[in-house]
Chain A
Amino acid sequence: KNQVEQSPQSLIILEGKNCTLQCNYTVSPFSNLRWYKQDTGRGPVSLTIMTFSENTKSNGRYTATLDADTKQSSLHITASQLSDSASYICVVMEGYSTLTFGKGTMLLVSP
């Protein structure tokens, strides 16, 4: 069964600190992996999309890595800000259109 597991479930960090969120998947055939940021009560917003051949992609203070061999991805947030408080969801696409979602990591950035 295709699965996407994220860790930790929740995380609290101080403003200005860095953090790394993890995503392990068993989706096959793999097409691409995305990280989304979702503010409470809003729809997810895409941060990065990586295909099999890409092992790192950045979007401002967000850097995602992908190891397709071990089926692991991470999202690193640098110099966190209060506005980074949100749920971060790892999503893996199988084939052309089937998405499998992780349950997300809830990040709280504390002043």
Chain B
Amino acid sequence: KAGVTQTPRYLIKTRGQQVTLSCSPISGHRSVSWYQQTPGQGLQFLFEYFSETQRNKGNFPGRFSGRQFSNSRSEMNVSTLELGDSALYLCASSGGRGGYTFGSGTRLTVV
């Protein structure tokens, strides 16, 4: 059974640009959640999607947005990038019963 796939693995962007990250969940999982991980703050919840609807949202500015497609694949978009957006972005998929499986993440560096 394939795991959670995140692409790309690494990304370098310039301040002011925008970026789109992709997450393919485990087959059959309908919930996808996104997290930002930085050395100082640890893992912070961005948002969760279930059946193409945003079900929960963390405390991040509107520059961070996401969506989920009918095949459960999800994308996260960050507009007007800032240096502080440099982080490891993780997504996790869940098939219910409280189990979350994380992808390997996308390492975003903003220069």
Contacts and interface: CB of A to CB of B under 8 A. Distances in A.
Contacts of B56: 97-98
B45 A99 contact: yes
A99 B107 contact: no
Interface residues of B, number: 26
A41 B43 contact: no
B44 interface: yes
B98 A93 contact: yes
B72 to A, nearest CB: 16
Given A41-B107, A43-B105, A49-B99, A102 B42 contact: yes
Nearest to A45: B102
B30 to A, nearest CB: 12
Contacts of A46: 99-101
B99 to A, nearest CB: 7
Grouping DSSP codes into helix (H, G, I), strand (E, B) and loop, the A interface class, with mixed when no group exceeds half, is strand
A43 B43 contact: no
Nearest to B98: A32
Interface residues of A, number: 20
Interface in A25-55: 31-32, 34, 36, 41-46, 49
Contacts of B102: 36, 43-45
25 contacts: A31-B98, A36-B102, A41-B105, A42-B105, A43-B4, A43-B6, A43-B90, A43-B104, A44-B43, A44-B102, A45-B102, A46-B99, A46-B100, A49-B98, A89-B42, A89-B43, A93-B98, A97-B48, A97-B55, A97-B94, A99-B33, A99-B45, A101-B42, A101-B43, A102-B42
Interface of A: 31-32, 34, 36, 41-46, 49, 89, 93, 97-99, 101-104
